[in-house]
Amino acid sequence: MDMRHAPLAAIGRLADGIAEGLIAHEVLVERLMVALLASGHVLIEGPPGIAKTRAVKRLADGLDGSFARVQCTPDLMPSDLTGTQVFRQDAGSFDFVSGPLFHSLVLVDEINRAPPKVQSALLEAMAEAQVTAGGITRPLPDPFMVVATQNSIEHEGTFPLPEAQLDRFLLHVDLALPDADAERAILDLAEAEARHVPDPLPRLAHDDLFAAREAAAAVRLAPALKDFIVRLVIGTRQTQGTPLEGLIDHAVSPRGTLALAASARARAFLHGRDHALPEDVEALAPDALSHRLVPSWRATSEGIPARAIVARLLDTVRPW
């Protein structure tokens, strides 16, 4: 097995292990693997009860690193995430007790229930892989990944994430309720797990993860494919005379270009290719770009969400 196939096999075993405990979530598993390979963060949105938290816990079970879960509430404080200084009476000095952000994988459940100060603390951690507390800046572990969940149907007592916070997520995955076949499969899976404890997932060592990231970063993006990515992003800015005219208040920033390129490389690697294809870009564009643009009042009033705008963009801007 050559150096490129070894990390791919390790990532594949992890993805298969996560998928075994989930029903109809192949896209979610792929997006989690893409973010893991691209050193990015993921926002998962959907109604309650569709295994958002379960998916992240299964990912944590398959990683050779520490895991922490934060349940967001309106009274959460930044120190509940970053940690705080504690006075040790016996030593007569203050010691820093680290918070849950100092873990390799952090699940932030119902992130939109966290107040703005907490979201600001998350912003530094996600953007800079560091935490500043007590006037001292401390680095976070490597690897470091935040996966946040958001309830799409409940808005009372919530604080909408600002654009700067949303922009720090590599991908925003939008989940829907399962159909009848998937619902029956979920029931069968729950009954099977009640009778027999599932085998532990294969754990992905840090060395294998870093090797996989290096291999994914080496995936080739052809000049024409880079141009396609740039034309998609520019298409959110130059809308006059296009089907997107009047639908966008704030366009996608250059961070969206970088995110889509890195995600396309990671997806190509997951599919065993050393080069990315237009299908990688088209599959990931809704998750990489929709949360980075702000629909106009007209789009909102006409019931055109950001994902529908990206769908129109993909119909307008073709790869070649």
Can you give the CATH number for the domain in which 50 is found?
3.40.50.300
CA distance from start to end of the chain? 35
Residue 271, domain CATH: 1.10.8.80
Q: Do the domain assignments include residue 173?
A: yes
95 — pLDDT class (breaks 50, 70, 90):
confident
Domain shared by 233 and 146, yes or no: no
Please give the residue range of the domain that contains residue 245.
220-316
In this structure, the answer to whether residues 162 and 282 fall within a common structural domain is no
Task: Please check whether residue 203 lies inside any domain of the structure.
Answer: no
Evaluate whether residue 208 is within a structural domain. no
The answer to whether position 76 is within a domain reads: yes
Q: Give yes or no for a contact between 38 and 265, defined as CB atoms under 8 angstroms apart.
A: yes
Is the per-residue pLDDT at 98 higher than 60?
yes
Closest CA to 122 of 160, 80, 73: 80
Tell whether 207 is covered by a domain.
no
What is the mean predicted confidence (pLDDT) over 230-237?
Answer: 97
Q: How confident is the model at residue 3 (pLDDT cuts 50, 70, 90)?
A: very low
Residues 47 and 162 in one domain: yes
pLDDT at 155: 66
Percent of the chain with pLDDT over 70: 97
Q: Name the domain boundary from 133, 158, 193.
A: 193
- From the number of C-beta atoms within 10 Å of its C-beta (0-12, 13-18, 19+), residue 11 rates as buried
88 or 181, which is more confident? 181
Q: Is residue 204 part of a domain?
A: no
Same domain membership, residue 226 and residue 188? no
**Do 119 and 259 lie in a common domain?**
no
Share of residues in the chain with pLDDT > 90 (%): 73
Q: Is the pLDDT of residue 15 over 90?
A: yes
What tens digit of pLDDT does each residue of 175-194 get?
A: 999 999 999 999 999 998 88
- pLDDT score at 200: 82
**159 and 244 part of one domain:** no
Whether residue 270 is contained in a domain is answered as yes
Do 100 and 224 belong together in one domain?
no
Q: What pLDDT score was predicted for residue 1?
A: 39
Q: What number is the average pLDDT over the span 282-290?
A: 97
Measure Cα distances from 264 to 5, 207, 284 in Å: 18, 23, 7
Length of the chain: 320
Question: How many domains in the chain?
Answer: 2
Q: Between the CA atoms of 200, 267, 284 and 276, what dihedral angle is there, to the nearest 10 degrees?
A: 180
Same domain, 176 and 258: no
The predicted model gives 44-50 an average pLDDT of 91
Lowest-confidence pick of 128-137, 211-220, 258-267: 128-137
Verify that 291 and 187 share a domain, yes or no: no
Q: Is residue 50 part of a domain?
A: yes
Greater confidence, 320 or 225?
225
Q: Which of 174, 193, 212 is the last residue of a domain?
A: 193
Most confident of 181-185, 240-244, 263-267: 263-267
The pTM score is 0.93
Q: What is the pLDDT of residues 289-303, one digit of tens each?
A: 999 999 999 999 999
Q: Which of the listed residues 155, 174, 193 is the one where a domain comes to its end?
A: 193
